[in-house]
Amino acid sequence: MSIWLMKSEPSEYSIDHLQSDGTSSWFGVRNYQARNYMRDSMNIWDRVLFYHSNCKTPGIAGLAEVASLPHPDITQFIPGDKHYDPKSTQLKPIWQCVDVRFVQKFWEIVSLASIRSTSWLESMKFLQKGSRLSITPVTEAEYQILEPMFH
């Protein structure tokens, strides 16, 4: 089982949205590296740390899990959609995504500030200078440090 940190702007799609939806496709990723993680490296039951970005208190808001194999992101085919990609075709889709299922919402967000101030977590990929990837792997060791911070 692998562990992933997946960013979403809560004004677009928050942990609360996922809680009410139960399961949702992680559509809209338009970065090749992030797509490759979903397409090539994710497996059903992988753990997902649901991260709120670009908001008042950025941080990990809850947990989810990978709930499907990779499949085409349908928004790439919809003209006028924010995520429409004219270069993509039904026969050769460019963008793949997975479904994620809600697991848990934390009572309190595990803030970016608190993660940054934990020296054992300095290695986390998403913290690295200039990292803007919306999906990054989390190591088992990092997860072990993070877990007690979840509540």
Smallest gap from residue 35 Cβ to DNA (A): 9
Distances (CA, A) of 124 to 1, 13, 117, 128, 151: 18, 23, 12, 7, 20
Smallest gap from residue 125 Cβ to DNA (A): 11
Q: Are 43 and 90 in contact (CB under 8 A)?
A: no
Smallest gap from residue 30 Cβ to DNA (A): 7
Judged by beta carbon, residue 22 or residue 130, the one nearer DNA is 130
Judged by beta carbon, residue 32 or residue 45, the one nearer DNA is 32
Smallest gap from residue 50 Cβ to DNA (A): 13
Judged by beta carbon, residue 104 or residue 111, the one nearer DNA is 111
Q: How many CB atoms lie within 10 A of CB 1?
A: 10
Query: Which pair of tokens denotes residue 150?
Result: 């979840």
Judged by beta carbon, residue 129 or residue 151, the one nearer DNA is 129
How many Å apart are CA 3 and CA 138, to the nearest integer? 5
How many Å apart are CA 51 and CA 15, to the nearest integer? 8
* Binding residues vs DNA (CB under 7 A): 7, 9, 30-33, 53-55, 58, 112-113, 116, 129-134
